[in-house]
Amino acid sequence: MGRLVLAEEGTFVPPGAKDFDLPPIFGDVTKPMVLIVLSVIIILAFFLLASRKLSVVPGKFQFLAESVYDFGRNNIAREQIGSKEFKPYVPLILGLFTFTLVNNIFGIIPIIQFPTFSHIGFPLALALLIVFPTYHIVGMRKFGVGKYLKKSVMPAGIPKPVYFLLTPIEIFLKFFMDPITLAIRVFAAMFAGHLILLVFTLGGEFLLIEASAPLKPVSLVAFLMAIAMTFLEALIQVLQAYIFALLSAGYIGSALAAEH
């Protein structure tokens, strides 16, 4: 990135990728690692506390937990996998949704202010180690290895000569690109969103403190933009968690479907 020179008081260096490489807190443990563990604790505590004293007429906390569960169960898992086969996968889909959501929301929580999934390793590990092994294993268990691989990379109704071109593309997409794009989608949104917030926040601070007097009022615009972008980022964080879980359920549903 370039440098933006404002008056003679100093030079504003825009934030970049280097600002996401946080130093270790202790040993080799970094803030994103701590946040990953914290997110698991928060999710477990949320559902355990909400289900501790269940009642027919739920209180606000129980109602919130039931709403999250119902959303993951019916609006994601059931819709994407199908009403006959979705139940065994509800815990996985609900876990993916809540885990991604909490780690995304960390980006706008004061003091924490860091979306864990802005580090590509975390969503990539989730896609490569959990989503896609599950996606392929459930299909192989249902149809057998040979039949599953055939229906995955050799779609029905295609002229045989076309398979010479289509099959390598299908193999590349389903076994290499799909998990990578699933991870990149949420990573890119979290990285870009957090970077924009940094630009407006640090830019506003620089204008207020370092810029010449005529430019200082512009800092108010930067701060207002930072506030507006925070609300927009919150929406995107929720949306990306939903999309990650939705696509994961969609992959499982396609593996279980009779034909692609």
Note the pLDDT tens digit of each residue in 156-176: 788 888 888 889 998 998 888
DSSP labels, 80-106: HH-TTT-GGGHHHHHHHHHHHHHHHHG
Q: According to the model, what pLDDT value does residue 230 have? A: 92
**Percentage of the chain exceeding pLDDT 70:** 95
Q: According to the model, what pLDDT value does residue 2 have? A: 38
How far, in Å, CA of 246 to CA of 98, rounded?
Answer: 12
The mean pLDDT of 28-54, rounded to a whole number, is 91
pTM of the model as a whole: 0.88
Q: Where are the domains of the chain?
A: 4-256
- Confidence band for 56, pLDDT divided at 50, 70 and 90: confident
Residues 171, 222 contacting (CB under 8 angstroms): no
Q: CA 45: distance to chain centroid?
A: 21
96-114 confidence digits (pLDDT tens): 999 999 999 999 998 898 9
How far, in Å, CA of 259 to CA of 46, rounded?
Answer: 39
Q: According to the model, what pLDDT value does residue 1 have? A: 37
Tell me if residue 201 falls in helix, strand or coil: helix
